[in-house]
Amino acid sequence: MSSMSVATVSALVLALATLAVPTQAVPLSADGGPVHLELSAPRRSVPSLQHVADRRSKRDNTDPFNANLVNWFDSAYAVNVAFGTPPQDFVLFLETQSPLTWVYDSSCTPDTCKGQTGGFDTSKSSTYVANDTLNSRPQGPPSVQLSDDLFLNGTWGSDTVSVDGAEGKSASVDNFMFMNCKLGGIINNSTQRPAGGLGLGWPSPGSFSPPTMLSKLAEGWKDKRFAIHLAQQPAPADGLLEPQDSKGGTLTLGGVNSALFTGEIDYVPLSTRFAENGAPTFWEITVDAADYGGKQYGNDTGNGTIASVDAVSTSSSVPDKLFHDVYSNISDARLVEASGDTPQYYTFPCASSGQVKPLTLTLGGKEIVIPAEALYTPYEAVLSTKEPAGWCMGLLQTMGEPSFDNVDWLFGVPFLRNLYTVFQLEPPAIGFAKLSASASKGSHCRRRRA
């Protein structure tokens, strides 16, 4: 097989930041998100990554381990990851819907890798081992096709891969097999961006799928959970977001961080509709009900509605009717039709944003309120430059009607930022808790751009 099967590709999904709204087996060319990265050139420099000199001596895969997240344009989240010996540092998207861990290769040029340069140099790592068997097959190594325009082609090899944590700690996996992307890539021409993806999704059975980062890390965990708190960037005085804000929240591996949430964690079992041998294939749950402005939404397919949970999706997707009902009645709202990789979305004058209401979701019998402010953004980096100043963009999108594969919902950044989210391997479930006072500070108040 020269490329991953559709099932795997779907798992690889992408929700890559600006390419929101991906999902299982959707023809990925139809995917896309509200943003094209060319839209708003970042004006700030990337904070240099702190080099952790003694990470080897402090590796720790057992106890709950905290890593700071990088908030990328207030749209997606990433984590600092080192490859090789000595370690080379990169910022990788946190991919909860993909089992694939990959990094751009140092051979990338702007032309070959969509503008990306400065990737991993395998020749400078004493522990890198190319997978010659895989890479020298007549049909070439497995590559990943995401859509006509979006693919990752490269070579496979193994090396030490470490997630950098607080206090000089790291969670490391030796001889971990990943892809060096030498051709293709995920986002056009963004200079300030993560250099790959850290796959924390479930493995995809039945197709090429080397042991995943999640399964390797979890081997050492006493507590088979990881959890995320996604922090919102402080409102920027000049309306421009930091391209990469290093205080983007916390990824906790091998447990939860009790400072970041309050009360109980309510667990919702994972959907097992695609399960093979009892193992789930996606971080995917059922939404029992949804209430917006007193109206009920949710079970449009009559099949229960499935929500895919994805930490790198800029938008959240909701059933088609709800999408239109949230925004279409707002004064002067406009529906921007889909074009290219960008799906349809609404814009409206920020002055009318008071007409947006909170959304109440029922998950596992418990109600969760997504505040109105989480359903739109005033920020330039997330907006198309086609929008005049003072306009806001709706952060909800639709999977279309009828929904594909009965996935009506995608819980992306706009939803997850309001919750503490726990990904539990055994038994497979996603847990939600209220953010603690310190974690929620600033979360719900978005300031409008002047």
In the complex, the residues that contact ligand NAG under the rule CB under 6 A are 2-3, 36, 114-115, 129, 131, 133-134, 143, 145, 149-151, 153, 158, 177, 183, 188-189, 210, 286, 288, 293, 299, 301-304, 325, 329, 340-341, 406
Instruction: In angstroms, give the least distance from the CB of 155 to ligand NAG.
Output: 11
Distance of CA 339 to the CA centre of its chain: 22
Name the residue nearer to ligand NAG (CB basis): 288 or 387.
288
Distance of CA 20 to the CA centre of its chain: 9
Q: For residue 286, give the H/E element and its range.
A: strand 284-287
Name the residue nearer to ligand NAG (CB basis): 155 or 317.
155
Q: How far apart are CA 71 and CA 141, in angstroms?
A: 33
Residues ≥6 apart with Cβ < 8 Å to 161: 81, 82, 83, 101, 172, 173, 176, 178, 213
Instruction: In angstroms, give the least distance from the CB of 299 to ligand NAG.
Output: 4
Q: How far apart are CA 382 and CA 101, in angstroms?
A: 26
CA distances to 237, 242, 298, 444 from 233, in Å = 12, 8, 30, 11
Strand partners, 295: 292
Encoded tokens for 366: 């418990």
Instruction: In angstroms, give the least distance from the CB of 180 to ligand NAG.
Output: 13
Name the residue nearer to ligand NAG (CB basis): 49 or 208.
208
Name the residue nearer to ligand NAG (CB basis): 48 or 133.
133
Single out the residue of 17, 144, 117 nearest to residue 71, CA to CA. 17
Instruction: In angstroms, give the least distance from the CB of 76 to ligand NAG.
Output: 14
Tell the residue number behind the tokens 């859509």, with chain if given: 147
Instruction: In angstroms, give the least distance from the CB of 395 to ligand NAG.
Output: 18
Q: Are 228 and 77 in contact (CB under 8 A)?
A: yes
Name the residue nearer to ligand NAG (CB basis): 69 or 396.
396
**Alpha-helix runs per DSSP H in 46-150:** 132-135
Name the residue nearer to ligand NAG (CB basis): 257 or 313.
313
Instruction: In angstroms, give the least distance from the CB of 37 to ligand NAG.
Output: 7
Distance of CA 13 to the CA centre of its chain: 9
CB-closest chain residue to ligand NAG: 3
Instruction: In angstroms, give the least distance from the CB of 303 to ligand NAG.
Output: 4
Residues ≥6 apart with Cβ < 8 Å to 146: 9, 12, 13, 14, 28, 152, 186
Instruction: In angstroms, give the least distance from the CB of 308 to ligand NAG.
Output: 14
- Strands 129-130 vs 151-164: parallel, antiparallel or unpaired: antiparallel
Name the residue nearer to ligand NAG (CB basis): 64 or 184.
184
Name the residue nearer to ligand NAG (CB basis): 325 or 387.
325
Name the residue nearer to ligand NAG (CB basis): 57 or 133.
133
Q: Are 58 and 170 in contact (CB under 8 A)?
A: yes
Name the residue nearer to ligand NAG (CB basis): 109 or 303.
303
Single out the residue of 365, 301, 317, 315 nearest to residue 74, CA to CA. 315
Instruction: In angstroms, give the least distance from the CB of 435 to ligand NAG.
Output: 26
Encoded tokens for 114: 């969509």
Instruction: In angstroms, give the least distance from the CB of 188 to ligand NAG.
Output: 4
The torsion angle over the Cα atoms of residues 23, 24, 29 and 32, rounded to 10 degrees, is 10
